[in-house]
A and B are shown apart, each in its own frame.
Chain A
């Protein structure tokens, strides 16, 4: 179990490593499509990467409603308590 702050740090590190984003731009309210320019193919890479880190099998369906970094943190938090 990770705290929400730890989840945020993990997500931020992943976004910086995978997409060469600048860490300060990765804030909870950042939108994946407009602000971070993450498209649907990137989303698959990101989710695969995070599911390896959190050691959890996930379905892309779980992430359908994710629009912002905060949405992703909430979704991961919900999945790890299931």
Chain B
């Protein structure tokens, strides 16, 4: 049943992806090298995450008694790892990326909301927003490879609702930067974003600053329900644009449930133009 769905998505994405040998799209930028390389860097990324979570973060834990400092150091190590990863794959010319407005990331009590077109979006944001907290899929706290890392860094699992909202609220009130992908999962290419209202709710409860980050990847790759080896015919380029801060004061005169619906609608409007919607 999963199969039928995936095939349909492949068909939808056929103008982006080379499928089979009959396609007329030319494979460029050392396609086969990029394919093997992509497999390799996934492997390396998984291994490094595992080792960081299993060895490095526990070591930090051992030598750092203070909880806040421990979390800070763990995030610094993970952030540096992600930056290194991104710079490496760019230097090896597997991907390209451009960051616009990076200096606006990482302020105290700042909530970052971003669309989520690809698997590695989180690396850009946690790599370049120093010390940021993040709401992470609950499954990552059970996954053998990722659980050491996400626990060590004190990230927030995305369920259940009440706990997630209260923990996120406390993090922002304590002055942390917090990253949320309001869709709770990756954006399906060509489909409108399906945002949850949780981000707007958390923003109105506790954020000092709300900043949208618009992510595009051209040609599309590493998107939802596509396996890693469906690499695009040419080298993909990520563009991350940090938007203008959203004035929360304009919403805070109403009770949170009402205000969060307004903010939610406005956020949906802001992101509507980011990923092209196709029928």
Contact = CB atoms under 8 A, between A and B. Distances in A.
A39 B161 CA distance: 10
A47 interface: yes
A30 B165 CA distance: 26
B162 interface: yes
B201 A45 contact: yes
Q: Which secondary structure characterizes the binding site on chain A?
A: helix
A50 B255 CA distance: 13
Interface residues of A, number: 14
Contacts of B165: 41, 44
A19 B258 contact: yes
B268 interface: no
A55 interface: no
A60 interface: yes
Interface string B45-62: 000000000000000000
B108 to A, nearest CB: 24
Nearest to B255: A18
Given A17-B255, A45-B256, A40 B201 contact: no
Contacts of A46: 257
B201 A41 contact: yes
A20 interface: yes
Interface in B171-218: 196-198, 201
A60 B164 CA distance: 11
A43 B166 CA distance: 13
Interface in B241-264: 255-258, 260
A17 B255 CA distance: 8
Interface string B137-180: 00000000000000000000000111101100000000000000
B258 A20 contact: yes
A35 interface: no
A40 B161 contact: yes
B184 to A, nearest CB: 12
A47 B260 CA distance: 16
Nearest to A15: B257
A42 interface: yes
B198 to A, nearest CB: 6
A41 B260 contact: yes
6 contacts: A20-B258, A39-B197, A40-B161, A44-B165, A44-B201, A60-B160
Query: What 7 pairs across the A-B complex have the smallest Cβ distances?
Result: A60-B162, A40-B161, A18-B255, A44-B162, A18-B257, A45-B257, A45-B256
Given A19-B257, A42-B257, A45-B257, 9 more contacts: A17-B255, A18-B255, A41-B161, A41-B201, A43-B162, A44-B161, A44-B166, A44-B201, A60-B163
